[in-house]
Each structure stands twice: as C-alpha cells, then as structure tokens.
Amino acid sequence: MIYWLITPLVSKNVTRFAVGLMLFAVFQQDMATVKQYLENIDTPLSRQPLWLQAIQIILIGDFIGYWMHRAFHQGRLWAFHAIHHSSVSLDWLSSVRIHPVNDLLMRQPQVMVILAMGFSPIAIAGYAPFLALYAIMIHANLNWSYGKFGVLFASPVFHRWHHTAEDAGLNRNFAGLIPAYDMLFGTYYMPKGKLPEVFGARDAQVPDGFWGQMLYPFRKSAAKAPL
C-alpha cells in the first residue's frame, strides 16, 4: 500500500524532470521554447489520426519496453528490478512495487524515442496512463489467457509466467502488451493446461520493508540476475 501512495508521486515527477532535462539537452533552448515546440509540433506522424498514432505508439513503445525489460534481467540492473519480482503472492497490488530507478530507466527511453519521431504530444499523453492501467490488470490474480487472442495481447497468465520463480519460466514473457515480440525473439512461454505456482525474486534476498527495498539495489551484496 505504501508503494501505491509513493510510486505514482515519485515516478511521475522524477520521470517528468528527467524527460524535461533530456529535451533541454537536445534542443539547447530554455524550457519555455521547448514547451512551445511541443505544443505546436507539426510532422507527418503528428498529422495522422490520433487512433492511428496510438496504435503506432503502442507498437514502438512496447518494442523498446521489451528490450529494456530484458536488460533489467541482467547484471546489476537486476538488483533494481528484483524489487518488482519480490512479491511472493502476485496480485494487482504488485504492479506498483517498482524501484524509482527501474521506473525511470524503463519509461524515459520510450518517451524520448516516441517524441523524437514526431508523434503528437496529445497522443503520447495517453500512453502512460494506458500502460499503468494495463499493468494493474495483467498483475491481477486471474487465470485469464485470452485464448487465441493471447498472441496479440498480454494476459494475466502470460505475465504470471514471467513472475514465476520456477525454472521453466525464468527470463520469459518480457513484453508488457504484445506477446508477439517474445515469440519473435525466442522468449515466449505459455504451456497449455498449466499455471505457475511459485513466485518471487529468485536468489535475491530482498527486504520486506519499503525503505529496505529502496536501498537494497545499492548494497554490494545485492543479487545478480538468476541464470
């Protein structure tokens, strides 16, 4: 519950600051000029209907998110991501158990690339809330797999296999929205007639308390990603 109070507040403001700083570095102009540019952006992509931009943003954003997610399952980045995987009883509350560094490094590349491509800020503005709501749903303790549509949209079962501590599910199902990326890059796992039973951050001794989890990734003893 602490994460539900803290994560949106911290992540939103830290990410906004980081994106603003990156835009300032790219444009080499004061923030008022950058804001004016964003409000009046006019590119071939921004002239498309908003619904078409939304589809393209989801496809591009989830492609970037897939590879960023894989990166967080390797080396020292795992120590930050292990916080999210530390829930041994996975449910919708687990969706916001995210270290701010994890959230910042995951979201910033997505937003920056999509902005740099010239999409309308109006279309981009709806992307983050959509991701947040979808993340809550796929972390829910539900046995939904979507049947044949499970290849098109990430389901709770698809994502629960990502969170399992069982050998078969390790480093699988990285996509947040589109399982086709996992199928394309060889990380898809959805066994028929079987559900994951064990959850948690394997080989990581993540503390139970909020502040202990915030400090955990900076410890020398923080676990490296399990193989």
Segment among 4-18, 115-129, 153-167 with least mean pLDDT: 4-18
Does some domain include residue 43? yes
Q: Of the segments 26-30, 75-79, 111-115, 174-178, which one has the largest average pLDDT value? A: 174-178
Q: Let me know: does 73 contact 201? Beta carbons within 8 Å.
A: no
Does some domain include residue 225? no
Length, in residues, of the chain: 227
Residues whose CB is less than 8 angstroms from the CB of residue 64 and which lie 6 or more positions away in sequence, other chains included:
109, 110, 113
Q: What is the pLDDT of residue 13?
A: 66
pLDDT averaged over every residue in the chain: 86
Does some domain include residue 116? yes
Q: Given a cut of 80, is residue 46 above it in pLDDT?
A: yes
Does some domain include residue 224? no
Categorize the per-residue pLDDT at 168 as very low, low, confident or very high, splitting at 50, 70 and 90: confident
Residue ranges making up the domain that contains 193: 2-218
Does some domain include residue 36? yes
Does some domain include residue 223? no
Does some domain include residue 12? yes
The total number of structural domains in the chain stands at 1
Does some domain include residue 213? yes
Nearest to 83 by CA among 211, 182, 198, 173: 211
Q: What is the pLDDT of residue 54?
A: 92
Nearest to 107 by CA among 138, 91, 76, 130: 130
